[in-house]
């Protein structure tokens, strides 16, 4: 048994606890953000072309970063520093997960109350290196899989790949 944040105890199970977002966020600019695989990573919409998205990521500790289009073309703004896509990704991650959790995950020593600007400033002060972008394909693939669920017709038939979600209305 494991204690949760409220001091209550819940049994280990095959379901994942659903954590609500820290604050509501608009999905148009950054439709997908996750803290996974030792990186903050996600998909950011292009500001100039509605048909283009960027797959952006920042690694923990050294803050190496990568940003490329969905066609694996490198981002023109990510040359030696965080581009606007990576900055938007960090900002939306703070809205989704909260500044404290994002800073802790990325191992950024910063006052979490200062929010995304402080996290970005602290990370860029370390002069992070540009990564090779090998994470782009799996991140974009997960994003497309999540989009596929939005296209499903409302039905009560179980989906085998979604069995790990807790049933609606279940007590925590």
pTM above 0.75, yes or no: no
Q: What is the Cβ-side half-sphere exposure of residue 153, based on CA atoms within 13 angstroms?
A: 2
Q: Domain range spanning residue 89?
A: 25-146
Q: Say what the pLDDT of residue 18 is.
A: 57
Per run of 10 residues, the mean pLDDT along the chain (length 172 residues) is 48 54 76 91 87 90 88 84 93 93 93 89 85 75 76 73 57 48
Cα separation, 68 vs 71, in Å, equals 8
**Token code pair at residue 9:** 């105890």
Q: Say what the pLDDT of residue 84 is.
A: 94
* 105 is a domain residue: yes
Judge whether 91 and 33 are in contact, CB under 8 Å.
no
Q: Say what the pLDDT of residue 87 is.
A: 94
Q: List CB contacts of 100: < 8 A, sequence separation 6 or more.
A: 112
For residue 130, what is the DSSP state? Answer: B
Q: Say what the pLDDT of residue 105 is.
A: 94
* 53 is a domain residue: yes
- Other beta carbons less than 10 A from residue 119's beta carbon: 25
Q: Say what the pLDDT of residue 135 is.
A: 74
Cα separation, 33 vs 3, in Å, equals 27
Q: Say what the pLDDT of residue 103 is.
A: 93
Number of domains in the chain: 1
* 11 is a domain residue: no
* 9 is a domain residue: no
Cα separation, 170 vs 147, in Å, equals 25
* 156 is a domain residue: no
* 37 is a domain residue: yes
* 111 is a domain residue: yes
Sign of CA dihedral 93, 96, 99, 105: negative
* 140 is a domain residue: yes
């Amino acid at each position: 048994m494991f204690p949760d944040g409220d001091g209550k105890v819940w049994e280990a199970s095959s379901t994942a606890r659903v954590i609500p977002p820290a604050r509501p966020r608009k999905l148009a600019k950054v439709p997908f953000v996750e803290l996974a695989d030792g990186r903050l990573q996600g998909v950011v919409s292009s500001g100039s072309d509605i048909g283009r998205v960027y797959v952006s990521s920042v690694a923990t500790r050294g803050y190496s970063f990568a940003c490329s289009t969905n066609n694996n073309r490198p981002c023109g703004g990510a040359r030696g520093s965080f581009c606007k896509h990576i900055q938007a990704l960090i900002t939306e991650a703070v809205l989704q997960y909260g500044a404290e959790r994002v800073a802790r995950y990325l191992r950024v020593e910063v006052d979490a109350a200062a929010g995304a600007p402080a996290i970005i400033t602290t990370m860029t002060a370390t002069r992070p290196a540009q990564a090779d972008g090998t994470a782009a394909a799996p991140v974009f693939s997960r994003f497309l899989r999540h989009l596929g669920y939005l296209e499903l017709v409302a039905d009560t038939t179980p989906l085998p790949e979604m069995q790990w979600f807790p049933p609606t209305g279940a007590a925590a």
